Amino acid sequence: MSSIEIIVFGPLLAAIVAGLGQNFIGKTAAKVITTGGLFLACALSWPIFLGFLTGNEKAYVEPVMQWVQSGALKFDWELRVDALTAVMLVVITTVSALVHLYSWSYMEEDPDQPRFFAYLSLFTFAMLMLVTANNLVQMFFGWEGVGLASYLLIGFWYKKPSANAAAIKAFVVNRVGDLGFMLGIFGVFWLFGTVSIPDILAAAPDKAGSSIGFLGLRVDTMSLLCILLFIGAMGKSAQLGLHTWLPDAMEGPTPVSALIHAATMVTAGVFMVCRLSPLFETSQFALNVVTIVGATTALFAATVGLVQTDIKRVIAYSTCSQLGYMFFAAGVGAYSAAMFHLFTHAFFKALLFLGAGSVIHAMHHEQDMRYYGGLRKHIPLTFWAMTAGTLAITGVGIVGIGGFAGFHSKDAIIEAAYASTAPWGGYAFFIGVFAALLTSFYSWRLVFLTFFGKPRWAQSEHIQHAVHDDHHGHDDHAHDHHDAHDDGTAGYHPHESPWPMLVPLGVLTLGAIAAGYLFKYDFIYAEEGGTAFWAASTLYFNEHLIHAMHHVPLWVKLASTVAMLTGLFTAWMMYIRKPGSAQALAGHFEPLYKFFLNKWYFDELYNLIFVKPAFWFGRLFWKGGDIGIIDRFGPNGSAAAVGLGSRIAVRMQSGYLYTYALVMLLGLVAAISWFMVQAR
């Protein structure tokens, strides 16, 4: 068995053993098997990635089995390994392996640990199947597998109504996007006669300029196909319009949030657009749509993140915003920059989510930042890890020298948007800079509310319960309830997380610090390595744009840094220097505040347009169609007729001999009369 087969199928085998054999092997064995399988996959993935960086690895396709042969439709299950696949392999397996290890302690008290770890490994397998696909059908199977596993993980605590609702929401919204993806695949097969990705990309330039009838209109064929495929990406990567599921996905356990938001499901759409980038390059209209949607999503999510109080929701909206950056980078033609930000984002976003989980663990499951404060002295390792993640996502660095991961990747996207000649490049640039300011503000707001200032723990019901339980000897988090002073702590003493949670934080911190600087030349520099690296993949590497983005004016390079510093200073003034000014500002701009707090009223709009009409039609067909017509004249009507007949028959069954003789006589008379009439 080759290394790529072990990487892909190892997590699947581990998921089957842990899921189906949990009653036989126990929870410890299930955790060991799944975690060991992911660390093995991670250990095998990095040499492949480094091999492509050094030029020692060549792209290849590993056949698995013959799959479908029906007329002109032919495709096999094959594992494609190239530079683009290698990037996704290290992202998926590294984050997933660390999430598995982290979950040993975070999920320690959960009675369903084997099921949880089986779901994690199944999720990882589906994503690996997706990124190794050599045809669109295999990609779609992985696409749907990720959707299924995400439904199971988000709704893992199924006894919690909000978790069930979030899981259903994610499932339904993603099916809307998947419909577009399916239609795109159907259209591609109709046009190209194949679902093989290399064959499609090779033939794509020859199809440019063709037209097709669609909904009574004559439209550009490639634009239509690319937009349908992009709708699939919008659902999976939570772009504006199909974004509503992503923030609610944090209702699952925190390790799930890290896995979904950092490295797997949400990156699938970006990966698909980059994998099919030569196809998208045939339609400027489709690229314009990608640019507009991506930039607007970055702005939308950043504005909503400003007013969130749940620590996980702030990070969730930041994910949505950063995905917007990746998409508008692809829209302006900087696909390598999009993949570079996907790569660095995996490290610092997983770090932020797992760091948030460490804070929640220390604060007895409290997630509202309004009830934090002063935690840096109590959980110093978590504090420094989250600070590193914040420095990375806000893009802290010095032009010409270096900086944290986001400084290299996000700044590259902003510079590429400015250097691009795409029609909407300017819009993407200004939105990107403004979103960077907002990102800096809400990210540092999270840090200040959580780790600085006076403790506000006593206001939390979770903390009150913890202290009360400790007073009765049930909780080891809190101590000495009677000696508590009026210092906002209520006598509660948070403590640092155990080592299985801290080790992943340490590893991810290194990635948040150094991943951008170490790999920038291979991702976003032409002569220094980018051209050779991406040549071993299907990704379209625009050398002209890459050269141009490195020669933009100095003020462009400084724009995101100035935005970051502005956001940092504003957050410091409002939450450290003048506490309470944020509430005053929210009251002064109450309509705008409510607009952001209600997430631009997308949920309310969708409830009005889709949910209520759906329920109305459901009740109509149920009461009017099913009960009023089908049941009335179908089974219920038949049963009523049989019942009526039975009652008449019962009345006729008197039990007297003369009654039966009368009936026989009447029947005989009727028969004779009928024969006499017929004889005439």
Supply the DSSP string of 388-446, one letter for each residue: HHHHHHTT-EETTTEESHHHHHHHHHHHHHHH--STTHHHHHHHHHHHHHHHHHHHHHH
Q: Determine which of 15-24, 269-278, 391-400 has the lowest per-residue pLDDT on average.
A: 15-24
Instruction: Please state the rounded mean pLDDT for residues 424-443.
Output: 95
Predicted local confidence at residue 480, as pLDDT: 47
Supply the DSSP string of 265-300, one letter for each residue: GGGHHHHHHHHTHHHHTT-HHHHHHHHHHHHHHHHH
The rounded distance, in Å, linking the Cα atoms of 334 and 428 is 12
- Is the pLDDT at 639 greater than 80? The verdict is no
Q: Are 490 and 346 in contact (CB under 8 A)?
A: no
Q: Which residue has the higher pLDDT, 538 or 480?
A: 538
pLDDT in tens, 356-371: 999 999 888 888 999 9
- Is the pLDDT at 255 greater than 60? The verdict is yes
**Residue 151, C-beta contacts closer than 8 angstroms, at least 6 positions apart:** 167, 168, 170, 171
- Is the pLDDT at 284 greater than 90? The verdict is yes
Predicted local confidence at residue 482, as pLDDT: 45
**Residue 473, C-beta contacts closer than 8 angstroms, at least 6 positions apart:** none
Q: Are 87 and 267 in contact (CB under 8 A)?
A: no
- Is the pLDDT at 491 greater than 70? The verdict is yes
Q: Determine which of 8-22, 546-560, 578-592 has the lowest per-residue pLDDT on average.
A: 578-592
Q: Which residue has the higher pLDDT, 522 or 662?
A: 522
Which CA distances in Å does 246 have to 16, 173, 264, 316? 27, 10, 13, 7
Q: Are 313 and 255 in contact (CB under 8 A)?
A: no
Predicted local confidence at residue 338, as pLDDT: 95
Q: Which residue has the higher pLDDT, 627 or 439?
A: 439
The rounded distance, in Å, linking the Cα atoms of 405 and 390 is 10
Instruction: Please state the rounded mean pLDDT for residues 13-36.
Output: 90
Confidence of residue 481 (pLDDT cuts 50, 70, 90): very low
- CA-CA-CA-CA torsion sign (511, 516, 520, 524): positive
- Is the pLDDT at 636 greater than 70? The verdict is no
pLDDT in tens, 313-355: 999 899 999 999 999 999 999 999 999 999 999 999 999 999 9
Predicted local confidence at residue 475, as pLDDT: 47
pLDDT in tens, 597-626: 888 888 888 778 877 787 777 777 766 766
Closest CA to 393 of 327, 448, 447: 447
Q: Determine which of 164-178, 315-329, 548-562 has the lowest per-residue pLDDT on average.
A: 164-178
- Is the pLDDT at 484 greater than 50? The verdict is no
What is the gyration radius of the CA atoms in the chain, in angstroms?
31
Instruction: Please state the rounded mean pLDDT for residues 633-651.
Output: 68
pLDDT in tens, 200-217: 999 999 888 888 887 778
- Is the pLDDT at 416 greater than 90? The verdict is yes
Q: Determine which of 415-424, 560-569, 616-625 has the lowest per-residue pLDDT on average.
A: 616-625
How many Å from the N-terminal Cα to the C-terminal Cα in the chain? Answer: 93
Q: Are 232 and 178 in contact (CB under 8 A)?
A: yes
Question: How far from the centroid of its chain's Cα atoms is residue 88's Cα?
Answer: 15
Q: Which residues, listed in sequence order, are joined to residue 478 by a DSSP beta bridge?
A: 492
Q: How many residues does the chain have?
A: 680
Predicted local confidence at residue 164, as pLDDT: 86
Backbone φ and ψ for 150, nearest 5 degrees, come out as -65, -40
CA dihedral 50, 56, 57, 59 (to 10 degrees): 130
Predicted local confidence at residue 72, as pLDDT: 80
- Is the pLDDT at 250 greater than 90? The verdict is no
Q: Rounded to the nearest 5 degrees, what angle is found at the Cα of 560, between the Cα atoms of 557 and 565?
A: 125
Predicted local confidence at residue 479, as pLDDT: 47
Q: Which residue has the higher pLDDT, 477 or 540?
A: 540
Amino acid at 5: E
Predicted local confidence at residue 213, as pLDDT: 82
The rounded distance, in Å, linking the Cα atoms of 318 and 408 is 18
